[in-house]
A and B are shown apart, each in its own frame.
Chain A
Amino acid sequence: MASPVDPGDDLFDSLRKTDPKKLDEQAKAIVEKDEALRLKQEQRLRDLIQSNSTLPVTISSIRLVGVRNTRRSFLDRIFNPIIGANRDTPYTLSEALQEAGSAADKLRRFDIYHDGISISVDKPPQTDPSSTPTDIDIYLQARERGRVSLKTGTDLGNVEGSAYGNLLWRNIFGGAESINLNASAGTRTRSAYQAVFDTPILSDPDKRLSIDVLASSTHKPWASHEEALKGAGAKFSWATGGGSSHQIAYTGMWRQITGLAGTASPTVRSDAGDSVKSSITHTWIQDQRDNPFIPQRGYLLKTISEIAGWGPLRGDVAFWKSELETSAAIPIPVPGIKGDSGVSFTTGLRAGMLYPLSVGFGSTPQPSRINDRFQLGGPTDVRGFKMGGLGPRDGADAVGGDIFAAASANLLMPLPRLGKDTPLRFQLFANAGRLLALKDRGDNTQKSVYDTVAQLGDGLPSLAAGVGLVYAHPVARFELNFSLPLVMRRGEEARKGLQFGVGINFL
């Protein structure tokens, strides 16, 4: 009697007391089975596509599933060009899939859908009288991201700590338009409020128009003042392929130099007050580096050209400003190591010029103000000098200059034992720079620019060298260097010893 009961108890027990190990194994088995099935399916699909890759097809419809807030007219601009009815020649199947894939990639880049837009292909039922035998339907499955996202946080940057709040409203009119409201308060940027409206043009993620308004107040201890900004601008940016992109921007900005420190120099005092800058800027970037923070190979070219105040632009300041930034990296082979050794040599060159113009259609060029002049020096450009440590100084204030040139050479080496795949590098560097104010040649601006450029070559440039550690975090590059200034001008502020730098853009 007892025997039939016992196994029953066992069964009951075994159901009640689940062995976690067994469960794990079961779950693993299920996952493996799914995976195998998926792989098999994929393989079958690949074979199918492979064997049918040259099959002529026409895309009869594209359906985007899972999307509620996106405008039809917006999607039409992306899908219409690839739909069969709008083309003279039929696709092969692989072409059709490629086109659908690139459309999906476009959608992904609008940043309004979650990653992982899946594509599936179907044949319309042959019973439908309007369909032809070559017709296929394409289904894209996407999940829309939340339309409103709110973010708050704190940032620690180069000698700056800040707290921010950010409100992003995506896909406002169903065409990937967005509004971004940003407010932050910090130790250096005392307060900043910014609103940006951004929209792609003609459903092209590579052509964007944005309009922004901003109000901010920034503490500039290297020149004993605070700069308050209020302004608005519009930007149009477009990519031209091959890693190159352009941007044209108009900015109208009311700048106030105020809150001067007690020790502020006469030069800063004479520039205190209001000025309005109305300018058009063109920026061109060609980035061919394999990694923006610790490049092994490739180059970067960047030019910024700005014209302010001239002709119809008006405003209170007028100048032409040009800046060039280049950087190149080459891998250095180490005998005995196959492939990339991880050792690379990078070099950078930056130069800029501010050419005074006259406001409107006048004929007397305006000497530059402190908020338009260049600053040079600091852990992200000429290392071994303090922020704004190079160039003309009035007392303790870095008052900036109109013409500059700076260059650097860095040898990056992987750390022993950690290897080249870690984002850590040891670096040896030497960098040099010169920042000059335009010489006074009366109203003969041309002569004063020539004479100042000629002066760049007088003597050795201010120079510093050192060693350090570089860490390439996904969002920024961190450097801790030990540097020594070798050549400098009297008054320039060098930094002997350790210097810490955080930035996106290093010389």
Chain B
Amino acid sequence: MPPKPRDKRGADEDSSAGQSLAPALSRQSRKFANLFAIPPPVKALFDYVPVLVYPPNELPRRAPKPAKIPSLYVFSNKEDAAAGRPSFNPSCLKWQAFLNIAGVKHRLVHSSNHASPTGALPFLLPAASASTSDTSQDTYPIPSNKLVKYAEDHGASVEESSNLRYEAYQALLDQRIRSAWLYTLYLEPLNFNAVAYPLYVSSASTNPLVRASISHQLRAAAEAELLKHSSIIDIDDLYSEADKAFEALSILLGEDTWFFGSEKPTLFDASIFAYTHLLLDDSMGWKEDKLSGALRRRENLAQHQERLLVRYFGG
């Protein structure tokens, strides 16, 4: 107990000393500031140079051509990106579909996670403004969680489903179906070699050592993600949970055109589409098709995917 008041007094003394010091310090720093201020004749000289300024240098060939519309950075390849075809990554495809539905004009740039400010794709880079050296706020990349706001700000009518059940179903998608997806893509050896490897690994580098390292990282990350939710990875459980989730979604959709009976597809439709399209797309070349088999049995979900693809991806 005794030391306490003394400590306090000590602190008080310190702070009062600090107060009396503060003006002196600021005077000091002002003096320094004056010392480092540019004297007027030098300032006049600085204003005079450079004497000659030429137009800017051209950019290297790999630099993307400037565009008037924003660029969405996604996992894709050069040809698919140029043609605006669906990305092979569910989170990229979700936002790609969302922007298509919302009618936000954009171009696709095929990229990797390294390019992203958050460490994950997708993100949207707003179109460059007229002045080239502009580094103002509107050239900052927009991460995926801010895309709804961006679309609203840019005049798109975004229909947000206010249904209470929405969150429950979103969770179903984000956990059950995503877990099964992670397992079937990365940890199922047949699919990893046939599907994930060419898409995510071969495209990064031609070097076998680098490829081995990236494969290992991808699989370890998927495993770590799955172990976040349960202590062991039970394959049958993962698939049966996904199957149940598809069943629930199928019942939810029923005979409607879009989920929750809305007029226009919403972000929820886009997130369903992101998985259903990739699972039903024959060009993905699934070798182990338990998950896509479970989806194919729900005909209305397959039709929903077809509908969205035709309407918003032109085929």
Q: Mark A residues whose CB is within 8 Å of B.
A: 254, 256-260, 262-264, 266-267, 269-276, 278, 314-316, 359, 367-370, 373, 391-396, 399-402, 435-440, 459-460, 484-492, 494, 496-497
Contact = CB atoms under 8 A, between A and B. Distances in A.
Interface stretch (B6-14, B91-99, B112-120, B266-274): B112-120
Given A269-B125, A488-B54, A359 B206 contact: yes
Contacts of B83: none
B20 interface: no
Interface in B185-231: 204-207, 209-210, 213-214
Contacts of B45: 484
A396 B135 contact: yes
B114 A258 contact: yes
A262 B61 contact: no
Contacts of B40: none
Interface stretch (B126-134, B256-264, B297-305): B126-134
Contacts of B168: none
Given A316-B206, A392-B60, A488 B53 contact: yes
Interface in B77-126: 109, 111-112, 114-117, 125
B54 A490 contact: yes
Contacts of B62: 267, 270-271, 367-369
Contacts of B155: none
A459 B54 CA distance: 8
A367 B114 CA distance: 20
Given A262-B140, A392-B57, 11 more contacts: A270-B62, A270-B64, A271-B62, A272-B114, A273-B111, A393-B57, A437-B57, A439-B58, A487-B54, A488-B53, A491-B132
A270 B114 contact: no
Given A260-B117, A266-B64, A438-B60, A276 B128 contact: no
Contacts of B50: 485-488, 494
B314 interface: no
A258 B217 CA distance: 16
A315 B206 contact: yes
Contacts of A259: 114
B55 A440 contact: no
Nearest to B60: A437
Nearest to A365: B61
Contacts of A271: 62
Contacts of B64: 266-267, 270
Nearest to A354: B60
Contact of B115 (A272, A394, A402, A489): A272
Interface string B56-72: 11111111101000010
Contacts of A258: 114
Nearest to A273: B112
A402 B36 CA distance: 39
B206 to A, nearest CB: 6
Nearest to A390: B57
B57 A496 contact: no
A352 B141 CA distance: 34
A430 to B, nearest CB: 13
B112 A272 contact: yes
Nearest to A400: B60
B232 interface: no
A437 B54 CA distance: 16
A440 to B, nearest CB: 5
A254 B58 contact: no
A218 to B, nearest CB: 15
Task: Find the residue from A394, A436, A486 having the highest chain B CB count within 10 A.
Answer: A394
B73 interface: yes
Given A263-B140, A266-B64, A395-B139, A484 B49 contact: yes
Contacts of A257: 114
Contacts of A485: 49-50
A257 B111 CA distance: 12
Nearest to B61: A367
B225 to A, nearest CB: 20
Given A263-B139, A395-B132, A373 B56 contact: no
Task: Find the residue from B50, B60, B128 having the highest chain A CB count within 10 A.
Answer: B60
Given A368-B60, A396-B133, A484-B45, A316 B111 contact: no
A436 B59 CA distance: 8
B223 to A, nearest CB: 22
A404 B53 CA distance: 19
A401 B57 contact: yes
A269 B139 CA distance: 13
7 contacts: A254-B210, A263-B139, A267-B62, A270-B64, A314-B207, A487-B52, A488-B52
A443 to B, nearest CB: 11
A497 B133 contact: no
Contacts of A487: 50-54
Contacts of B140: 262-263
B233 interface: no
A373 B60 contact: yes
A424 B132 CA distance: 43
A502 B108 CA distance: 44
A269 B209 CA distance: 24
Contacts of B71: 266
A491 B114 contact: no
A490 B53 contact: yes
A227 B115 CA distance: 12
Nearest to A438: B61
Contacts of A266: 63-64, 66, 71, 125, 128
B21 interface: no
A267 B52 contact: no
A263 B137 CA distance: 9
Contact of A497 (B38, B128, B213): B38
Contacts of A269: 73, 109, 111, 115, 125, 141
A232 B89 CA distance: 33
Contact of B55 (A273, A396, A439, A489): A489
A262 B60 contact: no
B133 A437 contact: no
Contacts of B61: 367-368, 437-438, 440
B214 A274 contact: yes
Contacts of A494: 50
A507 B204 CA distance: 38
A294 to B, nearest CB: 28
Nearest to A309: B206
B32 interface: no
Task: Find the residue from A270, A271, A400 having the highest chain B CB count within 10 A.
Answer: A270
* Shortest beta-carbon contacts, A-B, top 8: A272-B115, A367-B61, A437-B60, A267-B63, A273-B112, A276-B207, A272-B114, A392-B57
Contacts of B125: 266, 269
Contacts of B55: 489-490
B3 to A, nearest CB: 38
B207 A436 contact: no
Nearest to A396: B135
Contacts of B60: 267, 367-368, 370, 373, 392, 399-402, 437-438
Given A269-B73, A395-B133, A484-B45, A274 B54 contact: no
